């Protein structure tokens, strides 16, 4: 039900925004035509989903798996940490260079989040960055943001 | 796979309308006398292209980068970087973030002016050093060869009889095509039905397949289909007939005062020193004189037009003024 | 077609340089197709500058090799890690990944390679004998016809997933909505751009797909390991069996034809081709319930279709000089870069380019088959590496691939955001495939609708008075009504039983 209501809220917001677009032009539908209809139908369907969930069960959407499992806090924590790591990588990439920031992120991911054995984590991270540098930067010549160290 | 970013294969999306005054004031290919510059690049050059690989602007940049290296005009490596998106907004925002760095240069065509006028870009031409304008592209009105319209006059007559009966294909509002349509409607006092397509390629397909009756591509873009007898040119939107197209009358000759052309130039980041600007002016002037660049222009149907330094700034400012007026008239300029 | 022309073509394609460059092209294509985040159009664009020094025919041979090679390669990540390597491989994830989970990754990859080879070769024959007339027919497809085609595509969305139809539909609507982001093509009005220049052109397909599929899947595995144990496949399961072939051959044949004809249309493309091929297979199958759980024809049909579509897309390019997709637009740029004038006369003024390319494609497809069949078990053995060790590798490659397509860090951010969304969707059982397909179809549908009505000055009759569009719309109606009627009949049957 949570997911259905969230979707309904999103569609509702979009519908509100879309209603300010020009609905039609001289002969054909305007920029507002498609967004208004899509978000309106989306709103109805999401409410249906939420309603279904409310009617059938305790009001909880079943997370995937055997259906009754509660959310796993440790798991959510790992996912959250990874997402924060990714965002930090994105912020430091223009200054530090994309390759060094990615290496830092991968080390964080493998050692702190996944808790792989130290050598395995370092090995996987370094191998990944080397592979990317070889294929994308050297072979394909992709211009990536480079840092003060020149890579 | 994304069509939108790479679509401008023919990069016919942006334009420039050179006021006749500029053209008369100065011959189009005079080489200005420039003092040498005391500055030289210390690091590799980043040459930013506001479109994806394979399009007209990309070709322009890659040929120039190649020539600058081959002719020894620039003695550091030059790296071409494509930053497509937002009709140039993404690329120019990227360049502007490097303000004061003379190692970042970019290609500029009319989207450089029209996108900011429409309020879609945070940076305007005043934020950059406009070092050179090198050439312009013309526009030609084409119909299917089976079309009953032999001249622009025939077509205008038909449109006058029945407004909205002639369908013209072109890219989004604000593009060269839309300005061409607007000018033609005004000059002839007619109403055309404008069908928006995504790219020059789509316009050609729509024209051949009969979904539209008229289109206004660059001559180089339409040349292969004209040579194959599939399309017929009915008017050139240049001030005078083109050297390579002596049999195609101008719109002006047929009584409709519509001219349209798009420039291609080079900009450097803003906030650079006089000497740094002078360095690039020298490079561009020498590049313009090279055989390789002359061949590029004739192969791609570009008309040489050289404006360097202050002349380039002036040219760009005039174009900006002109565009702002037309786009305001079209109702898509952002209110100041 | 003259026999001599083909001989000329082979005499060009078989020179050592051209053979080598064709091999480099198909090899790089396989790699580029396999790497998530970087698709054929970005691959061709990245290698375009490299071709500057070489002859035009050699350049075209290599670039085309990347294009159709990528169609082979895209299968690999779809099957192994549930991540489409490019947009035309989205459909392959549905059954391919399920096959991999059952230890049949090798069979899926092998069958995809064989199907791709058949489709590639048959479509080169069609390209060779009928390019100019087909191109002329293709351009008569106007906005109303494209509108009808997209509607047909959308009707197939409903039957796409095995889970909740309501959830699939809502996801499709989210995809359609995401497709409206950006500057409105017709009137230039910005929609949902939040004053961000990076959103003016709308959301790119690849960052969204990589986020939802690759990053989302990885995050879900961090949340709760899906495959703690590496899959121990028996070697005998690494190639398709006779039964697999019997199940797939119809799908390969239909996929090849559907893919080719959709590919020829300049406004459609390989993604829609693979999508329609899958939908058709599911509809006519005797056991549609098996689709989505690892049916091999669900891999064979779309993989054949995207291959023949990529060859079909060369037809408007070579015969008229009109590009129909991002990739062919870059190839057109390559022709111009080499001083050619792409257009109807290209085939007569530069027969070496056209026939050399055609001949090289026969050879290239053989190379790809030889390359991919033995590679299938090899790639499949990646699954023996513990997934936790693969995670850093996949995430690194996926994000750098997303960056490379447009040199855009913003797109990397998009992939991360959609990774988070994809994770939540997995958690609550919302399917990702309808979303990304709607993201592809939506903008084309809206454009075609508005163009058509502008053409007819507002009259909706244009959709039914044009025979081709009327025919396709009738098909769409049938596709929509057929399952409804079947469901009603089934319900009535049940009621009779109950009473």
What's the sign of the alpha-carbon dihedral C451, C457, C459, C464?
negative
- Residues facing residue A24 across a β-bridge: A29
pLDDT range class, residue C173, cuts 50, 70, 90: very high
CATH code, domain carrying B42 = 3.40.190.150
User: What would the pLDDT profile of C345-381 be if each residue is shown by its tens digit?
Assistant: 888 888 999 999 999 999 999 999 998 888 777 777 7
pLDDT tens-digit profile, chain A (151 residues): 777 888 888 898 889 888 888 888 878 888 889 999 999 999 998 888 888 877 776 545 554 443 445 778 888 999 999 999 999 999 999 888 899 999 999 999 999 998 999 999 999 999 999 999 988 888 878 888 877 666 5
Number of other CB atoms surrounding residue A130 within 10 Å: 12
Residue C126 tokens, joined: 């069609």
Residues of chain B found within 8 Å of residue C326, distances taken between Cβ atoms: 1-3, 5-7, 52
Question: Do A142 and C224 lie within an 8 Å CB cutoff?
Answer: no
Give the count of domains, chain B.
Answer: 2
Question: Do C201 and B208 lie within an 8 Å CB cutoff?
Answer: no
Question: Do C406 and B52 lie within an 8 Å CB cutoff?
Answer: yes
Say if residue A91 is in the same domain as residue A121: yes
Say if residue B28 is in the same domain as residue B117: yes
Nearest CA in chain A to B83: A143
Which of A11, A26, A56 is a domain's end point? A56
Nearest CA in chain A to C413: A90
Instruction: Print the domain residue range for A44.
Output: 2-56
Q: How many CA atoms lie within 13 A of A29 on its CB side?
A: 17
CATH code, domain carrying B146 = 3.40.190.10
| C282 Cβ contact partners less than 8 Å away, ≥ 6 residues apart | C159, C288, C291, C298
Residue A150 contacts B, CB cutoff 8 Å: no
Give the count of domains, chain A.
Answer: 2
CA distance C344 to chain A (A): 33
Residue-level pLDDT at B16 = 40
pLDDT at C52 over 60: yes
CA distance to B22, B203, B252, C157, per residue, from C165 (Å): 64, 38, 61, 9
Residue-level pLDDT at B150 = 94
Residue C293 tokens, joined: 């759980």
Question: Do C396 and A106 lie within an 8 Å CB cutoff?
Answer: yes
For chain B, the straight-line distance linking the first and the last C-alpha, in angstroms and rounded, comes to: 37
Question: Is A66 part of any domain?
Answer: no
Question: Is A91 part of any domain?
Answer: yes
Say if residue A80 is in the same domain as residue A121: yes
Per-window interface: A 83-102 vs C, CB < 8 A: 83, 86-87, 90, 93-94, 98, 102
Question: Is B89 part of any domain?
Answer: yes
Question: Is A62 part of any domain?
Answer: no
CA distance B46 to chain A (A): 10
* CB C389 within 8 Å of CB A124: yes
Total CB pairs under 8 A between chain A and C = 178
Per-window interface: B 167-186 vs C, CB < 8 A: 167, 172-174
Which of B236, B270, B285 is a domain's end point? B236
CA distance A96 to chain C (A): 13
Residue A140 contacts C, CB cutoff 8 Å: yes
Closest by Cα among A128, A124, A127 to A116: A124
Question: Is A98 part of any domain?
Answer: yes
Alpha-carbon span C89 to A76, nearest angstrom: 30
| β-pair type (B78-82, B231-236) | unpaired
Per-window interface: A 106-125 vs C, CB < 8 A: 106, 109-110, 113-114, 116, 120-121, 124-125
Question: Is A28 part of any domain?
Answer: yes
Question: Is B199 part of any domain?
Answer: yes
Chains within contact range of chain C (3+ C-beta pairs < 8 Å): A, B
User: How many residues would you count in chain A?
Assistant: 151
pLDDT at C30 over 50: yes
User: What would the pLDDT profile of B27-72 be if each residue is shown by its tens digit?
Assistant: 677 888 889 999 999 999 999 999 888 788 998 999 999 999 999 9
User: What would the pLDDT profile of B179-204 be if each residue is shown by its tens digit?
Assistant: 999 999 999 999 999 999 988 888 99
Residues of chain A found within 8 Å of residue B79, distances taken between Cβ atoms: 143
Residues of chain C found within 8 Å of residue B194, distances taken between Cβ atoms: 454
Say if residue A48 is in the same domain as residue A91: no
Say if residue B133 is in the same domain as residue B8: yes
Per-window interface: B 274-303 vs C, CB < 8 A: 299-300
Instruction: Print the domain residue range for B45.
Output: 3-137+261-330
Say if residue B19 is in the same domain as residue B90: yes
* CB B128 within 8 Å of CB B268: yes
- Residues facing residue B81 across a β-bridge: B48
Torsion of CA B189, B191, B195, B198, to 10 degrees: 20
Alpha-carbon span A113 to C120, nearest angstrom: 44
Closest by Cα among C61, C69, C66 to C13: C61
Question: Do C453 and A28 lie within an 8 Å CB cutoff?
Answer: yes
Question: Is B13 part of any domain?
Answer: yes
User: HEC string of A59-115?
Assistant: CCCCCCCCCCCCCCHHHHHHHHHHHHHHHHHHHHHHHHCHHHHHHHHHHHHHHHHCC
Say if residue B25 is in the same domain as residue B129: yes
Question: Do A49 and C167 lie within an 8 Å CB cutoff?
Answer: yes
Say if residue B125 is in the same domain as residue B207: no
Question: Is A149 part of any domain?
Answer: no
User: What would the pLDDT profile of C466-499 be if each residue is shown by its tens digit?
Assistant: 999 999 999 888 877 876 777 677 767 666 655 5
Question: Is B256 part of any domain?
Answer: no
CA distance A149 to chain C (A): 19
Closest by Cα among C441, C417, C443 to C208: C417
Question: Is B20 part of any domain?
Answer: yes
CA distance to B78, B264, C136, C334, C344, per residue, from C132 (Å): 41, 35, 6, 21, 8
Q: What percent of chain B has pLDDT over 70?
A: 91
CA distance A58 to chain C (A): 15
Say if residue A21 is in the same domain as residue A51: yes
Q: Which residues of B97-107 are buried (b: 16+ CB within 10 A; e: fewer)?
A: eeeebbbbbbb
Chains within contact range of chain B (3+ C-beta pairs < 8 Å): A, C
Say if residue A89 is in the same domain as residue A121: yes
Residue-level pLDDT at A136 = 87
pLDDT at C144 over 80: yes
Alpha-carbon span C273 to C265, nearest angstrom: 10
Say if residue B265 is in the same domain as residue B133: yes
Question: Is B130 part of any domain?
Answer: yes
Residue A61 contacts C, CB cutoff 8 Å: yes
Which of B201, B236, B271 is a domain's end point? B236
Residue C309 tokens, joined: 């579509």
Residue B86 contacts C, CB cutoff 8 Å: yes
Alpha-carbon span C344 to C339, nearest angstrom: 16
Question: Is B243 part of any domain?
Answer: no
Question: Is B121 part of any domain?
Answer: yes
Residue A143 contacts B, CB cutoff 8 Å: yes
The rounded mean pLDDT for chain A is: 84
Question: Is A151 part of any domain?
Answer: no
Chains within contact range of chain A (3+ C-beta pairs < 8 Å): B, C
Say if residue A78 is in the same domain as residue A39: no
Question: Is A35 part of any domain?
Answer: yes
Residue A38 contacts C, CB cutoff 8 Å: yes
* CB C443 within 8 Å of CB C202: yes
């Amino acid at each position: 039900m949570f997911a259905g209501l969230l979707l309904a809220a999103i569609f509702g917001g979009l519908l509100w925004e879309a209603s300010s677009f020009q609905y039609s032009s001289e002969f054909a539908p305007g920029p507002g035509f498609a967004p208004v209809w899509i978000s309106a139908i989306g709103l109805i369907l999401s409410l249906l989903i939420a309603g279904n969930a409310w009617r059938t069960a305790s009001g909880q959407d079943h997370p995937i798996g055997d259906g009754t499992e509660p959310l796993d806090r440790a798991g959510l924590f790992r996912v959250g940490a990874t997402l924060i790591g990714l965002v930090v990588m994105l912020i430091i990439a223009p200054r530090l260079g994309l390759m060094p920031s990615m290496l830092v992120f991968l080390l964080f991911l493998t050692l702190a989040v996944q808790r792989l054995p130290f050598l395995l984590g370092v090995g996987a991270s370094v191998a990944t960055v080397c592979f990317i540098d070889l294929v994308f930067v050297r072979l394909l010549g992709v211009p990536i943001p480079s840092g003060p160290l020149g890579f | 796979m994304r069509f939108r970013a790479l679509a401008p294969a023919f990069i016919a999306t942006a334009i420039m309308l050179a006021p006749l005054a500029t053209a008369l004031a100065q011959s189009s290919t005079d080489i200005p006398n420039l003092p040498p510059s005391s500055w030289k690049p210390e690091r590799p050059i980043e040459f930013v292209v506001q479109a994806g690989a394979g399009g007209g602007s990309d070709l322009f940049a890659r040929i120039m980068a190649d020539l600058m290296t081959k002719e020894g005009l620039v003695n550091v490596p030059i790296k071409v970087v494509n930053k497509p998106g937002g009709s140039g907004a993404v690329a120019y925002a990227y360049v502007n973030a490097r303000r004061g760095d003379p190692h970042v240069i970019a290609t500029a065509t009319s989207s450089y002016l029209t996108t900011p006028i429409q309020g879609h870009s945070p940076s305007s031409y005043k934020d950059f050093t406009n070092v050179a304008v090198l050439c312009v592209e013309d526009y030609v009105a084409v119909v299917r060869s089976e079309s009953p319209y032999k001249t622009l006059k025939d077509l205008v007559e038909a449109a006058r009889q029945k407004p909205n009966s002639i369908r013209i294909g072109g890219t989004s509002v604000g593009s060269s095509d839309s300005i061409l349509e607007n000018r033609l409607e005004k000059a002839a006092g007619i109403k055309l039905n404008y069908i928006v397509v995504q790219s020059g390629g789509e316009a050609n397909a729509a024209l051949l397949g009969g979904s539209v009756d008229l289109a206004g591509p660059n001559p180089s873009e339409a040349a292969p289909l004209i040579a194959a007898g599939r399309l017929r040119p009915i008017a050139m939107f240049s001030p005078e007939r083109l050297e390579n197209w002596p049999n195609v009358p101008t719109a002006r000759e047929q009584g409709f005062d519509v001219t349209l052309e798009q420039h291609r130039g080079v900009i450097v980041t803003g906030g650079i020193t006089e000497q740094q600007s002078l360095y690039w002016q020298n490079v561009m002037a020498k590049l313009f004189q090279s055989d390789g660049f002359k061949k590029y222009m004739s192969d791609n149907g570009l008309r040489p037009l050289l404006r360097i330094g202050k002349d380039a700034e002036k040219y760009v400012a005039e174009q900006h003024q002109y565009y702002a007026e037309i786009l305001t008239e079209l109702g898509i300029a952002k209110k100041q | 077609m003259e026999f001599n022309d083909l001989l000329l073509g082979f005499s060009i394609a078989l020179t050592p340089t051209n053979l080598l460059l064709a091999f480099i092209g198909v090899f790089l294509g396989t790699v580029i197709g396999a790497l998530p985040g970087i698709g054929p159009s970005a691959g061709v664009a990245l290698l375009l500058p490299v071709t500057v020094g070489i002859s035009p025919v050699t350049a075209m041979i290599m670039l085309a090799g990347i294009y159709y090679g990528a169609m082979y390669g895209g299968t690999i990540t779809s099957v192994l890690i549930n991540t489409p390597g490019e947009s035309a491989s989205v459909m392959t994830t549905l059954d391919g990944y399920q096959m991999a989970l059952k230890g049949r990754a090798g069979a899926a990859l092998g069958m995809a390679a064989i199907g791709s080879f058949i489709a590639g070769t048959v479509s080169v024959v069609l390209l060779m004998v009928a390019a100019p007339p087909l191109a002329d027919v293709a351009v008569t497809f106007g906005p109303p016809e494209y509108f009808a085609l997209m509607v047909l595509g959308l009707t197939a969305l409903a039957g796409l997933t095995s889970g909740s139809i309501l959830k699939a539909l809502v996801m499709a609507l989210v995809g359609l909505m995401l497709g409206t982001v950006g500057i409105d093509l017709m009137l230039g009005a910005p929609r949902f751009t939040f004053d961000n220049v990076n959103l003016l052109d709308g959301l790119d397909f690849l960052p969204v797909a990589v986020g939802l599929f690759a990053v989302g899947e990885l995050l879900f595995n961090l949340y709760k390991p899906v495959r703690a144990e590496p899959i121990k496949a028996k070697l005998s399961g690494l190639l398709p069996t006779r039964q697999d072939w019997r199940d797939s051959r119809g799908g390969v044949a239909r996929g090849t034809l559907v893919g080719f004809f959709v590919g020829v249309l300049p406004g459609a493309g390989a993604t829609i081709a693979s999508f329609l091929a899958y939908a058709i297979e599911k509809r006519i199958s005797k056991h549609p319930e098996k689709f989505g759980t690892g049916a091999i024809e669900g891999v064979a049909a779309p993989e054949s279709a995207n291959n023949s579509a990529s060859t079909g897309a060369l037809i408007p390019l070579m015969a008229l000089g009109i590009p129909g997709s991002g990739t062919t637009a870059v190839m057109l740029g390559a022709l111009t870069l080499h001083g050619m004038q792409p257009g109807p006369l290209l085939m007569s003024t530069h027969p070496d380019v056209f026939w050399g390319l055609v001949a090289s494609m026969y050879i290239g497809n053989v190379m790809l088959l030889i390359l991919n069949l033995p590679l299938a078990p090899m790639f499949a053995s990646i699954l023996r590496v513990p997934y936790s060790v693969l995670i850093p590798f996949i995430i690194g490659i996926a994000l750098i691939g997303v960056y490379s397509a447009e040199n855009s860090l913003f797109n990397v951010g998009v992939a991360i955001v959609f990774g988070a969304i994809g994770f939540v969707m997995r958690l609550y059982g919302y399917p990702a495939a309808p979303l990304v397909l709607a993201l592809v179809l939506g903008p084309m549908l809206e454009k075609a609708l508005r163009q058509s009505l502008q053409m007819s000055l507002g009259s909706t009759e244009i959709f039914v008075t044009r025979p081709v569009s009327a025919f396709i719309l009738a098909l769409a109606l049938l596709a929509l009504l057929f399952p409804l009627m079947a469901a009603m009949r089934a319900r009535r049957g049940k009621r009779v039983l109950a009473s």
